[in-house]
């Protein structure tokens, strides 16, 4: 496909040439400024009104009247090969929420450390065992844009010594997708997280409740992003803090433990579903 599109070089003649995602020219996704060179296809559509152009690895469309084709170019420009161009996203460009939506279910182990302070012992850092994070996310991923967004729910659980932790969290954030192909895409993501239902169970004592907030970020690979079902795998870092959580009693020794923060890394894998 890239060879076909680089066979013909056009120069934008309009101050802002609109790029459309559909052949009916109903969904503008951005524009290209006057003077930019574009690699366009050779076969005109819609009675010769439009030509295809590649944007972020996807076929889009531009009006012929907004560009100068090779027959209009000067001789020294005719053999110049153009493989990339800049498409600026207009703030008013359409991005319908009913399209390009995914549900992603992922889970995996976390390697987390807990920072706490205990009477008579002081502050210490310990590793949480058997920690897992499972999330169900709604993602809006316009293939013509490099920045995507999403939100959803995440369930966290883990334990250490006499304490068991669990939490149902709300999370949301953005991802940057520098590589998007038909078989895989690579993205860097960052989310903020909030829970009003963080729970700590102290063995033989009882349950404590508080609030948890924080962030996670990392990299993720999506396999088959253009298909109905796809796979995801990735690596991330997390940091969580707490508020409204009382000091915790235990049945091992006298003294109260104050849980301050979690931090660490995680790996995950899962499946995605693309809405038709």
Render pLDDT for 92-141 as a digit per residue (tens, 0 to 9).
Answer: 566 778 888 999 999 999 999 988 887 767 788 888 888 999 999 999 99
Average of per-residue pLDDT values in the chain: 85
Query: How many Å apart are CA 44 and CA 38, to the nearest integer?
Result: 15
Q: DSSP alpha helices (H): ranges in the chain?
A: 2-5
- 34 near 16, Cβ under 8 Å? yes
The pLDDT value given to residue 5? 45
| 161: three-class secondary structure by DSSP | coil
- Percent of all residues in the chain with a pLDDT value above 90, rounded to a whole number: 41
Q: Is 48 left (phi over 0), alpha (psi -120 to 50) or beta?
A: left
CB neighbour burial string for 127-149, b if at least 16 within 10 angstroms, e if fewer = ebeebebebebebbbbbbbeebe
Q: Is the pLDDT of residue 76 over 70?
A: no
Instruction: State pTM to two decimals.
Output: 0.73
pLDDT per residue over 146-187, tens digit each?
899 999 999 999 998 888 999 999 999 999 999 888 799 999
More confident residue, 24 or 190: 190
More confident residue, 109 or 35: 109
The pLDDT value given to residue 201? 92
């Amino acid at each position: 496909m890239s060879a076909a599109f680089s066979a013909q070089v056009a120069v934008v003649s309009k101050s802002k040439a609109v790029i459309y995602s559909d052949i009916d020219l109903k969904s503008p996704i951005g524009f290209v400024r006057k003077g930019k060179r574009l690699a366009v296809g050779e076969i005109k559509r819609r009675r010769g009104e439009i030509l295809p152009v590649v944007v972020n690895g996807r076929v889009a469309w531009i009006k012929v009247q907004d560009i100068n084709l090779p027959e209009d170019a000067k001789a020294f420009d005719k053999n110049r090969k153009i493989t990339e161009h800049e498409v600026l996203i207009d703030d008013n460009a359409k991005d319908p929420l009913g399209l390009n939506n995914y549900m992603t279910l992922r889970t995996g182990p976390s390697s987390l450390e807990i920072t706490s302070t205990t009477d008579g012992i002081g502050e210490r850092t310990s590793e949480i065992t058997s920690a897992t994070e499972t999330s169900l996310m709604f993602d809006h991923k316009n293939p013509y844009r490099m920045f995507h967004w999403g939100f959803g729910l995440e369930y966290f659980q883990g334990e250490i010594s006499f304490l068991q932790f669990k939490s149902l969290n709300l999370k949301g954030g953005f991802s940057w997708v520098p590589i998007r192909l038909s078989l895989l895409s690579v993205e860097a993501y960052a989310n903020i997280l909030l829970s009003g239902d963080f729970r700590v169970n102290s063995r033989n004592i009882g349950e404590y409740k508080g609030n948890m907030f924080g962030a996670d970020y990392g990299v993720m690979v999506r396999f088959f992003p253009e298909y109905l079902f796809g796979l995801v795998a990735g690596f991330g870092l997390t940091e969580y803090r707490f508020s409204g959580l009382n000091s915790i009693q235990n049945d091992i020794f006298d003294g109260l433990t104050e849980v301050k923060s979690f931090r660490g890394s995680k790996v995950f894998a899962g499946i995605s579903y693309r809405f038709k």
